[in-house]
Amino acid sequence: MNSSSDNASRLPSISVVIPVYNGGENFRRCLDSLKRSSRQPDEVIVVADGDTDGSWEVAKEFGFTVFRYDSAGGPARARNQGAKLAHGDVLFFIDADVTVGHDTILSVEKAFQQDVNLAALIGSYDDQPGAENFLSQYKNLFHHYTHQVSSEKASTFWGACGAIRADAFKAVGGFDERYSKPCVEDIELGYRLKRAGYTIRLCKHIQVKHLKCWQPVSLLRAEIFYRALPWTELILSQSQPMNDLNLDRTNQLSVVLSFVVLGCLVGGWVNPFLWIVAIATMVGLLVINQRVYRFFWHKRGALFALRVIPWHWLYFLYGGAAFAYGTVTYRFRQFSTFAN
């Protein structure tokens, strides 16, 4: 008998692992979506990370396995604990504020069954975000767009909708628990998987619905302090190429042009000619990002697409500023260590 053929035909068992702090109604919707799944997970393990709203009790009501920490330690620790309790061949990590589609778990099963060399996969948010306010629609749709246009050969992992073979997860040591906040612990795991020679695939058809309601302060705090700054340090410390997902050349050029626009708008009060340069640069930004704006126009209409533009340019500005600040502080720490 051909053992590799046997492995390919065997259906992998799937353990769903969910870290939760105070999940509220979104968490209940998450668990309910699992119950409605066409392919039921072999087990669902919920790790309550010091919750104070009774999220662990909600998970018990659904009949799922629950582990509860007395105090919060972050999703990295919670996911690792869930993985320790899991018995499945595949660990499917999702966040507590997403719902899986009817066939999401079935699609995960098929992906691992059909490719015995696949170590991990990540999915995408769908194009129907749960929260209806503009900022939530924009941010979650932008996340969907980014994944849908990216290469299927991924170099990062994603904790909101990411599956990994249990043996590969254990081989690289799981998530780095030094990340005590929802941060870049999933990206860092992906980098280690790639260095160890494992294959990660972006499966664009495997989708979950994000229910989170973003507000300006919560969005900027998460984007800058929990994403951009720690990701910058991760890229620099591990000499990672900036060519994956939202780090491609178009985004890098857009960051530069956004600062040119800002500088020319300010400088125009001294030399009005700079305002003409600013307008020309804005046109350039619109042209090189036209695919993004056409996507939003197609999904939500012209007015929505127009509202996206200033937020998109602000995204380039705070992302670029965070990368610059992170680079300077990282190099300064390096220099200080060397000097001592």
pTM of the model: 0.92
Which of 178, 179, 291, 272 lies closest to 225, judged by CA? 179
281-308 pLDDT, tens digit each:
999 999 999 999 999 999 999 999 999 9
* Per-residue model confidence (pLDDT) at position 337: 73
> In 3-state terms, what secondary structure has residue 120?
strand
Mind listing the pLDDT tens digit of every residue in the chain (340 residues)? Answer: 344 445 555 799 999 999 999 999 999 999 999 999 999 999 999 999 999 999 999 999 999 999 999 999 999 999 999 999 999 999 999 999 999 999 999 999 999 999 999 999 999 999 999 999 999 999 999 999 999 999 999 989 999 999 999 999 999 999 999 999 889 999 999 999 999 999 999 999 999 999 999 999 999 999 999 999 999 999 998 877 655 656 678 899 999 999 999 999 999 999 999 999 999 999 999 999 999 999 999 999 999 999 999 999 999 999 999 999 999 999 888 877 777 6
Which residues, listed in sequence order, are joined to residue 16 by a DSSP beta bridge? 44, 92
**DSSP, residue by residue, 170-183:** HHHTSS-TT--SSS
Q: Which two tokens stand for residue 316?
A: 């380039």
| Backbone φ and ψ of 149, nearest 5° | -105, 0
The alpha carbon of residue 316 and the mean position of all alpha carbons in its chain are separated, in whole angstroms, by 18
Which residues, listed in sequence order, are joined to residue 94 by a DSSP beta bridge? 161
State which amino acid sits at residue 154. A
Q: Where are the beta strands (DSSP E) in the chain?
A: 14-20, 43-49, 65-69, 90-94, 98-100, 118-125, 161-165, 199-210
Which of 251, 247, 254 lies closest to 285, judged by CA? 254
Considering only CA atoms, give the Rg of the chain.
21
